[in-house]
Amino acid sequence: MAPPSRSVPSPGGAPANAGAPAGAAALNSAQGISAEAIQELVDQAAGFNLFAVPDANSRGGESGYGVSGSLLKERLYRFDVELVPPSGTGVQAMNTLGEEVGTLELQWFIVPDDFLARPDRQPPAIRLYPGISQRFVMQQMTFRFADGRDGFQSFGTGRTFPMMTGDQPRIMVSAVGNVTEGHGRFRNLDGNFTICGDLTPAGFKGNILVRFQDPEHTLRVRDELPTIQPQRDPDPQITYLLWSGKKGAEQAGVENHFSFGPDGQVRGLDITTQLRILQMGFAVSGSFLGKSFTVSKKIIGTEIGFGRGSIPTAPPTGTPVSPYLFEGVAKYSFFDSAGRIAGTILTNVTEGRRFDMNLRGVPGDQAWRFGFFGPIIYGTGCFRGVQGIFYGSSGSVFYSPPEGHVVTHFYMARISDPEGKFRAPESSGGWF
C-alpha cells in the first residue's frame, strides 16, 4: 500500500526497471542519488510493537466502553510478532507478549462520520453503537516509558469494526495516530503509529505498531536488547502477522505504473512490492531502547495494489493538522518454500494518512511517512475465510513513474483466529 503520486503524471508508461531501488540505479534521473542510498535514509527508523491493556483500576466511560471522552489509563507491554517462513501448512507467526514497559493515557471520542477532526477541535462526542462501524478521534494518547522520562503525545482518528471472533462479538478498532510531541529520547522525532485491537468496556486492548524516523540514531541502540520476558497470552483467539513490503528487482511488467480510467485520465497508481520477513523490537531498561529493524533477504511473497488520493481535489501536501488522505486495494500473495502460493489476502485500505517529512540527503529533503488500515476483504488458500484488519506504518520516497520509488512498509494483519491456525508455537525458532 502506498499513497499515490502528488506529481502530474505522464501517460507515457514506465520502463521495466522503474520501480527497482536495488543497485546503483538513480531513483530520480535528475538527482543522481541512487535508490540504494535513499533506501538507507528511509530505513533510518525505529519500528516497534506495543501491546496495550486497560489498567484494571481505570474506569470506562459512560457507555462502558471508554469512548465518551473519559480519560483512561492503560498498561503498555513489549510485543513481538515474528512471522515464520510460509510453508505448505500456511502462514503463521509467533506472538509474544513481553514485560510491562510503560503507560498510556488515552481520551477517545466517537464522532459523526463527517466530523473534521483536528488536534485543536473539541469533538462532539456521540454514542457508541456496538453493532455498527463508527469513526472516533484519539484526541489524546500519551505514551510514557519506564519512569516517564521518555515518551510522546499524539493525535489521530480511526474506525470501529464490529466483528465476531469465534462466537464472541467484539468491537474491533483501528486508527492512525501522529506524534505531536516527543520527550526524552523521542524529542524532535517524526513518528506515527497505527493501532488495531478491541474496544472493551475498560478501554483499548491491542497492538500499537509504531514507526519513528531516527536519522541521528537517538532512539536506537546498537547493543543487543534485553530478552523479552514472556507474559500470559492476552488474547489467544487473535493472531497478528507482521511482514515488510519493499521495492525490489521486480519482474518486468510489475513495476509501478499509472492506472487510467475509461476517460483516459489517471485515476491512481498501480504499485507492487516484494514481501519479506520483518523483525523489530525494543526494550525499556532505565530508558527506552529502540532497535533498527531488519528485513529478510528472502522474498516470501508479492504485493500488487492500486492506490489513489481519497479526495481528488485535496492539496497534495500532508501535514500533522491535515494529512493527505489515501486509499487503495492490494493483494498479498505468500509463497511457501517451494515457491507456490500458500495463501493470499485482499485488503482494502479505507483510511490512509500521509505526512510529509524532511529527510536530509534526499533530493528536496522530501519524504513521506504514513499509516493506514482497512478490512481484509477475503482470503484464499491458507487464508480462506479469514476475517480481520490489515494495517501498517511506512516510510517512503516517491517519484512518479517512470522515476523510482523507495518504500519500506511495516505491514500487520490482525486475524480472528480462535482455532490458532495462524499461530506458530514458540518452538518454531528463528527465521534467518
Binding site for another protein (CB under 8 A): 131-133, 159, 161-164, 168-169, 253, 257, 259-262, 267-268, 270-271, 304-306, 308, 327-331, 346, 348, 350, 374-375, 377-378, 380, 385
Handedness of CA 229, 231, 233, 235 (dihedral sign): negative
Taking the least distance from each CB to another protein, the nearer of 97 and 342 is 342
Taking the least distance from each CB to another protein, the nearer of 84 and 163 is 163
State the minimum distance, in angstroms, from the CB of residue 193 to another protein.
Answer: 22
Taking the least distance from each CB to another protein, the nearer of 135 and 276 is 135
Taking the least distance from each CB to another protein, the nearer of 182 and 392 is 392
| Contact (CB, 8 A) for 322 and 180 | no
Please state, as a whole number, how many other Cβ atoms lie within 10 Å of the Cβ of residue 200: 17
Query: For residue 226, what is the DSSP state?
Result: P
Query: For residue 385, what is the DSSP state?
Result: T
Taking the least distance from each CB to another protein, the nearer of 374 and 404 is 374
Q: Which helix (H) or strand (E) holds 284?
A: strand 282-285
Widest distance between CA atoms in the chain: 61
State the minimum distance, in angstroms, from the CB of residue 25 to another protein.
Answer: 23
Task: Compute the distance between CA of residue 73 and CA of residue 55 in angstroms, rounded to an integer.
Answer: 6
Please state, as a whole number, how many other Cβ atoms lie within 10 Å of the Cβ of residue 123: 22
Taking the least distance from each CB to another protein, the nearer of 211 and 353 is 353
State the minimum distance, in angstroms, from the CB of residue 160 to another protein.
Answer: 8
* DSSP SS3 for 270: strand
The torsion of the CA quartet 386, 392, 396, 398, rounded to 10 degrees, works out to: 50
Task: Compute the distance between CA of residue 383 and CA of residue 381 in angstroms, rounded to an integer.
Answer: 5
What length does the chain have?
Answer: 432
Taking the least distance from each CB to another protein, the nearer of 242 and 271 is 271
State the minimum distance, in angstroms, from the CB of residue 228 to another protein.
Answer: 34
State the minimum distance, in angstroms, from the CB of residue 273 to another protein.
Answer: 12
Assigned C-alpha cell, 192: 506515527
How many H-runs (helices) and E-runs (strands) does the chain carry? 1, 19
Taking the least distance from each CB to another protein, the nearer of 220 and 257 is 257
State the minimum distance, in angstroms, from the CB of residue 21 to another protein.
Answer: 20
State the minimum distance, in angstroms, from the CB of residue 6 to another protein.
Answer: 19
Residues 6+ apart with CB under 8 A from 26: 32, 33, 34, 35, 404
Task: Compute the distance between CA of residue 223 and CA of residue 78 in angstroms, rounded to an integer.
Answer: 17
State the minimum distance, in angstroms, from the CB of residue 263 to another protein.
Answer: 8
State the minimum distance, in angstroms, from the CB of residue 305 to another protein.
Answer: 6
Distances (CA, A) of 63 to 201, 222, 386: 8, 46, 30
Taking the least distance from each CB to another protein, the nearer of 211 and 405 is 405
Please state, as a whole number, how many other Cβ atoms lie within 10 Å of the Cβ of residue 22: 15
